[in-house]
Amino acid sequence: MVTYTPPLRDMRFVYHELLDGDALAEIAQYADYTPDVIDAVLEEAGKITSEVLFPLNLSGDTEGCTLKNGVVYTPKGFKEAYDQFTQGGWTGLAAAPEFGGQGAPAALHFLVQEMICSTNMAFGMYPGLTEGAYNAINLHGSDKQKALYLPKFVEGTWSGTMCLTEPQCGTDLGLIRTKAGPQPDDSYKITGTKIFISAGEHDLTENIVHLVLARLPDAPEGIKGISLFVVPKFLPNDDATVGPRNGVTCGSIEHKMGIKASSTCVMNFDDATGWLVGLPHKGMSAMFTMMNTARLGVGIQGLGLGEAAYQGGLDYAKERLQGRALKGAESPDKPADSIIVHPDVRKNLLTMKSLTEGIRALSLWTAINLDKAEKSEGAAERQRADDLVQVLTPIVKSFGTDKGFLAANLGVQIYGGHGYIHEHGMEQYVRDARITMLYEGTNGIQALDLIGRKMGAHYGRYLRAFFHPLQEFIEENADNEEMQAFILGLAKAFGRLQQATGILAQRGLRDPNEAGAAATDYLNLFGHVAVAFMWAKAAKLAFNKKDADPTGFYSGKLKTARFYYERVLPETSSLFAMIMAGGDSIMGMEEELFGAAVAA
């Protein structure tokens, strides 16, 4: 069976030491979040996730959700766990105090989310969707909507969803057909069908509030004609209690590859009463408030599953006895050595460890800048922070989930045949991780966003938010002898990224397919360089602290950083070569030739 221990030591290292998250307490809204408070919250989050959520992960996957008479029932234990979760205040951790929340920094919230995803990703979908609905209404809703819905979201008695996808449209939301008919009382009648709606129906809360994209009668064609509506399952009374049932029903639930304990629903809206959120025909801008935050959250899902898979693989590698070390028996008193003595197993473990810890640092750097972008007093600082968040969001989402899925697969490999068996718990991570590469915009879409929108935005301003601090770090440490291996490796990889950026910018102007053909390789090149930057900063800290550390934590950091630079970062060479090859071999293939071998 897989095991999990909250990685609090590494979380504290990244927050307090590597990225100076403690400086967030200088922002007025975060003044209460001192280092002691941060550590206490992480400690408590570690308890509820490991002691309450983790024991339900495998059983919830086995049982799944069931639909009976229009009601979705979550697996055994989920309702009790959700009640304990809400009573602990976890649904309001990052919410504004004016609505009953605790006003925590996004950086702290991200670390808590990681532990939730490591221990029970399916469970985390329910409060996660509510957070997205909270963000959209908080930024775009009326004062009346905020006063009604946000306190209910914070206390966890009402939950939220986002209803975008329809049978005929996924990424291309301009094809939406759901209609919104204006009523004399300023409400609207919503009619249409939405699919793939996570947490669309369940038994955890007394009400479910749907945020629905739909078209008004006078809507322009395409994406510019979409509006956003709030459509509750039960219509609220004037005193914010639950009233009569609205015209919203769950038609069916999907039978999925993974996250089986998360209800994924087909939702039917039949003259359901809803209210406009924000301005008419501006629904996409409001919905992207949810989606951008959700994309970072999905990246954290990949990170959390990667950490869980690493821990499970490490424990198994220490305990499983098979064969002897290549140089001779290391445990001659036992019938065989543990498999951690074998180079290939160690390589798999170190790949998982170096990527997971590096992506944790990259994700938290993004979260800290998200806090600065939203709460810093100076406009210039807010813009610099937001620029960095804009360019790193598709990378955290795509690179984080790609590598989370890789870690889950490597975990199965370490387990061998036992990893393929459901009862051991490792294969579930693979199935759960697969969806993270698909929803909130597939990873291919993230790559197109990076290269098509972010790369050239504001004449390269977003890119400079990342390029400049990295270049400054290289220059500041150029004469640091013990850092030479890291600085040289980082400079070479960064040089490839800079060169690829310039060439793709030129090629893309001539032929957009050239940029599109290289987009995924470019994002992965960017992701490796960004993680290398985090590891170089970690190595510098570790050099300064390892001699005074009896636990070996900093020595372990140095050795993991060395592995990343010698065994993972060289992938940038092959990615660069593929980018430079151009798009002819991809776009030059006639469509009919794809099936030529079958036809013949």
The mean pLDDT values, 10 residues at a time, for the chain of 600 residues are 96 98 97 98 98 98 96 98 98 97 98 98 97 94 97 98 87 82 97 97 98 94 91 96 97 97 98 97 80 89 98 98 96 97 98 98 98 95 97 98 98 98 98 96 96 93 98 97 97 98 94 96 98 98 95 98 98 98 95 84
> Which residues constitute the domain of residue 42?
8-140
Residue from 440, 472, 482, 591 carrying the catalytic annotation: 440
Are 132 and 177 members of one domain?
Answer: no
* Tokens standing for residue 142: 């009326």
Q: What is the pTM of this model?
A: 0.97
- Please enumerate in sequence order all residues whose Cβ is within 8 A of that of 30, keeping only pairs 6 or more positions apart, or say none: 24, 103, 104, 105, 371, 375
Q: What is the CATH number of the domain that holds 188?
A: 2.40.110.20
Task: Report the candidate in 493, 527, 498 with the shortest Cα–Cα distance to residue 366.
Answer: 527
Within 13 Å of residue 278, how many CA atoms lie on the same side as its CB?
Answer: 23
pLDDT value for 442: 95
Q: Quick check: is 440 catalytic?
A: yes
Are 469 and 565 members of one domain?
Answer: yes
Are 467 and 550 members of one domain?
Answer: yes
Residue that is written with structure tokens 């821990």 in the block: 311
Question: Could you tell me if residue 562 is inside a domain?
Answer: yes
Are 241 and 198 members of one domain?
Answer: yes
Question: What is the longest distance spanned by two Cα atoms in the chain?
Answer: 84
Q: Which of 92, 110, 140 is the last residue of a domain?
A: 140
Question: Could you tell me if residue 402 is inside a domain?
Answer: no
Are 187 and 101 members of one domain?
Answer: no
Q: Which of 269, 287, 305 is the last residue of a domain?
A: 287
Question: Could you tell me if residue 14 is inside a domain?
Answer: yes
Question: Could you tell me if residue 114 is inside a domain?
Answer: yes
Q: Which of 257, 287, 317 is the last residue of a domain?
A: 287
Question: Could you tell me if residue 73 is inside a domain?
Answer: yes
Are 518 and 562 members of one domain?
Answer: yes
Number of domains observed in the structure of the chain:
3
pLDDT value for 174: 67
438 vs 305: CA distance, rounded Å: 15
| Cβ–Cβ under 8 Å, residues 228 and 283 | yes
* Beta pairing class for 242-245 and 66-68: unpaired
Residue 92: CB atoms within 10 Å:
25
The CA distances from residue 356 to 12, 13, 128, 394, 527, in Å, are 15, 14, 21, 17, 12
Which amino acid would we find at residue 354? S
Q: What is the CATH number of the domain that holds 132?
A: 1.10.540.10
How many residues are present in the chain? 600
| Cβ–Cβ under 8 Å, residues 523 and 447 | yes
Are 30 and 127 members of one domain?
Answer: yes
pLDDT value for 293: 80
303 vs 117: CA distance, rounded Å: 8
**CA 147 to chain CA mean position, Å:** 29
* Tokens standing for residue 48: 């509820």
Q: What is the DSSP letter of 77?
A: T
Q: For 486, phi and psi rounded to 5 degrees?
A: -75, -40
pLDDT value for 288: 74
Task: Report the candidate in 254, 192, 246, 229 with the shortest Cα–Cα distance to residue 65.
Answer: 254
- Please enumerate in sequence order all residues whose Cβ is within 8 A of that of 596, keeping only pairs 6 or more positions apart, or say none: none
The counts of H helices and E strands in the chain are 18, 11
